[in-house]
Chains A and B, each alone.
Chain A
């Protein structure tokens, strides 16, 4: 995975060390991640295809990844229901969404 900026998959790492490998197109729904991974930026994230998201815990990042895929899956459909978010995670996820610009 390392040194491959054109790989179709990227790795998102949570603060407690969980790694999520998901497709680049899905992850780039997030403005923050998209800018991190922009090859023109020459950020280390862009070079390695690996984003360390220090502010997000594994639980939250898992849900975020779930959203990325949910979004990817439903982008061509009409009247998509909202993704189910467990109420107890809501506020944390809200902060994460604000940070990730999704």
Chain B
């Protein structure tokens, strides 16, 4: 027969079975046959049962039965006799003491019925609802001994006993608790309804067809959560595309492709703020598109657009640079060199915010260019190349007077002169970050804050300003980095307005300095976040003093502060990083268990 060799798609299992000489078709046929047999058998039983019910009082006369029925009847009688002889029967009978003894027949009959109950895989009618169903090992027995279908089984079970409550050992949640703390969530009380809902929506994002009229802040939060779950795909991206919205924030674009970027730009013509992270597939033609459309992008925040060439960057800045208000770029290693930087600084004269982090190809020259950005108010730099201190001083001298935030991450060669320049030229700072440096002296840091015309700072991050010398852990005689004097000066200058303070691993701040800064009558009313990680001197007493002096504290980071053993934590404060310490929150005790 032709066509014999044409076959449909095969599953791997079918192939395997065929190679072992097992035919899937045969298995199926046999299964069908078994099923049919079971159905027929069940139907016959039903008939028999119906007949029993019709004539419950007297024995049916032999004449009214066909020979077939007769044999069946005889077989049943035989089976009952067998049951009566069985051990099981004797056992059951023994259990039924106290009841009339003359119902041997009845007992034998029920046992017979039980025996005839269909096995798993066969069909039966549900005792309660009468529905036909396949018997499984989980089918429950109904009130009169028959089997129940899945639905009735479930209901029946619910009506009975509930599953025993799961036991939780007190230590199990620790990791989760710490994770929540690091996410900034309070360990007591409930989360806000908004947050609960946003999380739920993010969980079921695949079922969402449209967000409707969600306000931008909520969209932003949703985008953050989805990005964190790495759930932003072409499909979910559509939910965020609103022709009328002026901004888009997607923190994980790794699963988007070039077309998706086109889609964003094409469907949101009013866009002024483009904030995309992990944009590896972004290419020149996306920028070309922005230029062709003459889009009014004012805020451009891109993380790792590494396929965009220097040529394209330069073209873009020349053409649309004047409109840019803020530019933030991260992780560029194959393009964006000093020359591009120069063109950028020339063209983007209106730039107010500039953040450049981990740009591998820029160095001293770039700093010189930055010094020409006269309108800059916020500057945040983290260079990968080592830069010499002089260009940085030039930046501070030139644009320092207008700066409102200054963030210098890891400039290992910057020295005391930088601090002097900041003291001299910056008068409007509210945020200052200067980290991981071991050249600046404590006395210069103190001098920075003493008699500084700058109003109190709101945000200070000095983490890692300390001497690193393994052979001399106490540091040199004249303290390097932020130490006692600098710390006291800082708190005196900015304490009244300070909201965030990070002095992690500034190891040379003494106990006495802490005692003075957090003494009885000092108050830091605005302080919300305090990071004092790896400050070995802080103990329970100091921590308690910190709580007293900072009424609005919501987060205290104390990694590596091993002297903190037993704390009474005020409500609303998250203490992060304790090791096996006992924390008492308003009478709620929680001992960390490992």
Contact = CB atoms under 8 A, between A and B. Distances in A.
B192 interface: yes
Contacts of B190: 67, 70-71, 74-75, 80, 82-83
Interface stretch (A14-22, A34-42, A46-54, A84-92): A84-92
Contacts of B193: 64, 67, 71, 83, 93, 96-97, 100, 102
B199 A82 contact: yes
Contacts of B194: 94, 97-98, 102
Query: Among A67, A78, A87, which residue has the most Cβ atoms of chain B within 10 A?
Result: A78
Interface residues of A, number: 25
The dominant DSSP class at the A interface is helix
A5 to B, nearest CB: 26
Interface string B179-215: 0000000011111111011111101100110011111
Nearest to A87: B204
Contacts, number: 83
Interface string A52-72: 000000000000100100110
Contacts of B218: 94, 98
B266 interface: no
B515 to A, nearest CB: 31
B189 A75 contact: yes
B200 A79 contact: no
Contacts of A90: 197, 200-201, 204
A2 interface: no
A71 B212 contact: no
Interface in B197-254: 197-201, 203-204, 207-208, 211-215, 218
Interface of B: 173, 177, 187-194, 196-201, 203-204, 207-208, 211-215, 218, 585-586, 588, 590
30 contacts: A64-B193, A67-B190, A71-B189, A71-B190, A71-B193, A75-B188, A76-B188, A77-B188, A77-B588, A78-B187, A78-B188, A79-B173, A82-B191, A82-B199, A83-B190, A83-B193, A83-B196, A90-B204, A91-B208, A91-B212, A93-B197, A94-B198, A94-B214, A94-B218, A96-B193, A97-B192, A97-B196, A98-B215, A102-B192, A102-B193
